[in-house]
Chains A and B, each alone.
Chain A
Amino acid sequence: MMLWIFFAVAFVAFLGALGLVFHSNPMVAGLCMAVAMVAQGCLYMLLHVPFLGFFQIIIYAGAVMVMAVFIIMAHGMAEQGQEVSLTQTVATYVAAVLFLVQALRAVWNAAPPAFTEVDRAFGSLQQFGNLLVEHYAVPFELASLVLLTAMVGAVVMARRIWE
Chain B
Amino acid sequence: MNAWLAILLPAAIKIVVILAIVLTGVAYTTLAERKVSAWMQDRKGPNRVGPFGLLQPVADGMKFFFKEDITPRQAYKPVYLLAPLCTLVPALVTFSVIPFGTEITVAGKSYPLWIAPGMDLGLLFLLSISSLAIYGIILGGWSSGNKYSIFGALRGASQVVSYELGVGLSLLTVVIWSGSFGLQDIVNAQKGHPWFFLTHFLGFIVFLVAIFAETNRLPFDLPEGESEIVGGYHTEYSGLRFAMFFMGEYANMITASALLVTLFFGGWNLPFVDWAKFGPIWGGVLSAAVFFTKIAFFLFFFIWVRWTLPRFRYDQLMNIGWKRLFPLALANLLLMTTLMVFFGFGVKQ
* Min distance, Cβ A87 to any Cβ of chain B, angstroms: 30
Given known pairs A31-B139, A51-B121, A54-B121, the reply for A63 and B131 (CB within 8 Å) is yes
A57 and B131 form a contact (CB under 8 A): yes
**Cα–Cα, bound, A17→B268 (Å):** 44
B153 interface residue per 8 A CB criterion: yes
B160 interface residue per 8 A CB criterion: yes
Given known pairs A38-B132, A51-B124, the reply for A78 and B142 (CB within 8 Å) is yes
**Cα–Cα, bound, A31→B124 (Å):** 22
**Cα–Cα, bound, A104→B154 (Å):** 41
Q: Chain B contacts of A50 at CB under 8 A?
A: 121, 124
* Min distance, Cβ A48 to any Cβ of chain B, angstroms: 12
Q: Chain A contacts of B150 at CB under 8 A?
A: 73
* Min distance, Cβ A57 to any Cβ of chain B, angstroms: 4
A66 and B142 form a contact (CB under 8 A): no
Chain A contact residue count (CB 8 A cutoff) = 24
B181 and A62 form a contact (CB under 8 A): no
**Cα–Cα, bound, A39→B34 (Å):** 40
B132 and A31 form a contact (CB under 8 A): no
A66 and B181 form a contact (CB under 8 A): no
Q: Which residue of A lies closest to B139 (CB)?
A: A31
Tell me the residues in window 113-127 of chain B with beta carbons closer than 8 Å to chain A beta carbons.
121, 124-125, 127
B79 interface residue per 8 A CB criterion: yes
Q: Which of A41, A73, A125 contacts B142 (CB 8 A)?
A: A73
Q: Which residue of B lies closest to A53 (CB)?
A: B128
B88 interface residue per 8 A CB criterion: no
Tell me the residues in window 151-170 of chain B with beta carbons closer than 8 Å to chain A beta carbons.
153-154, 157-158, 160-161, 164, 168
B157 and A66 form a contact (CB under 8 A): yes
**Cα–Cα, bound, A63→B158 (Å):** 10
Q: Which of B79, B132, B139 contacts A57 (CB 8 A)?
A: B132
A62 and B134 form a contact (CB under 8 A): yes
Q: Which residue of B lies closest to A57 (CB)?
A: B128
* Min distance, Cβ B21 to any Cβ of chain A, angstroms: 26
Q: Chain A contacts of B131 at CB under 8 A?
A: 57-58, 61-63
* Min distance, Cβ B163 to any Cβ of chain A, angstroms: 11
* Min distance, Cβ A122 to any Cβ of chain B, angstroms: 15
A58 and B154 form a contact (CB under 8 A): no
A73 and B154 form a contact (CB under 8 A): yes
Tell me the residues in window 95-118 of chain A with beta carbons closer than 8 Å to chain B beta carbons.
none
A66 and B128 form a contact (CB under 8 A): no
B79 and A66 form a contact (CB under 8 A): no
**Cα–Cα, bound, A31→B127 (Å):** 20
A54 and B127 form a contact (CB under 8 A): yes
Q: Chain A contacts of B135 at CB under 8 A?
A: 31, 34, 66
B138 interface residue per 8 A CB criterion: yes
A140 interface residue per 8 A CB criterion: no
Tell me the residues in window 16-59 of chain A with beta carbons closer than 8 Å to chain B beta carbons.
25, 27-28, 31, 34, 38, 41, 50-51, 54-55, 57-58
A63 and B161 form a contact (CB under 8 A): yes
Tell me the residues in window 47-101 of chain A with beta carbons closer than 8 Å to chain B beta carbons.
50-51, 54-55, 57-58, 61-63, 66-67, 69-70, 73-74, 78
**Cα–Cα, bound, A54→B120 (Å):** 12
B158 and A62 form a contact (CB under 8 A): no
Given known pairs A34-B135, A50-B121, the reply for A62 and B154 (CB within 8 Å) is no
Given known pairs A31-B79, A70-B154, the reply for A63 and B164 (CB within 8 Å) is yes
Contact pattern, B 182-225, Cβ under 8 Å of A = 1, otherwise 0: 00000000000000000000000000000000000000000000
A67 and B142 form a contact (CB under 8 A): no
Q: Chain B contacts of A74 at CB under 8 A?
A: 154
Tell me the residues in window 123-138 of chain A with beta carbons closer than 8 Å to chain B beta carbons.
125
**Cα–Cα, bound, A73→B152 (Å):** 11
**Cα–Cα, bound, A45→B284 (Å):** 31
Name 23 A/B residue pairs within 8 A (Cβ), A-sorted: A28-B76, A28-B79, A51-B124, A54-B121, A54-B127, A57-B128, A58-B127, A58-B131, A61-B131, A62-B128, A62-B132, A62-B164, A63-B160, A66-B134, A66-B138, A66-B160, A66-B161, A67-B161, A70-B161, A73-B142, A73-B157, A78-B142, A125-B121
- A28-B79, A54-B128, A73-B142 given; 12 more Cβ-contact pairs under 8 Å: A31-B135, A31-B139, A38-B132, A57-B131, A58-B127, A58-B131, A58-B168, A67-B157, A69-B138, A70-B157, A70-B158, A73-B157
Query: Measuring CB to CB, which residues of chain B are less than 8 angstroms from any residue of chain A?
Result: 76, 79, 121, 124-125, 127-129, 131-132, 134-135, 138-139, 142, 150, 153-154, 157-158, 160-161, 164, 168, 181
CB-based closest 5 A-B pairs: A62-B131, A70-B157, A57-B128, A54-B124, A54-B128
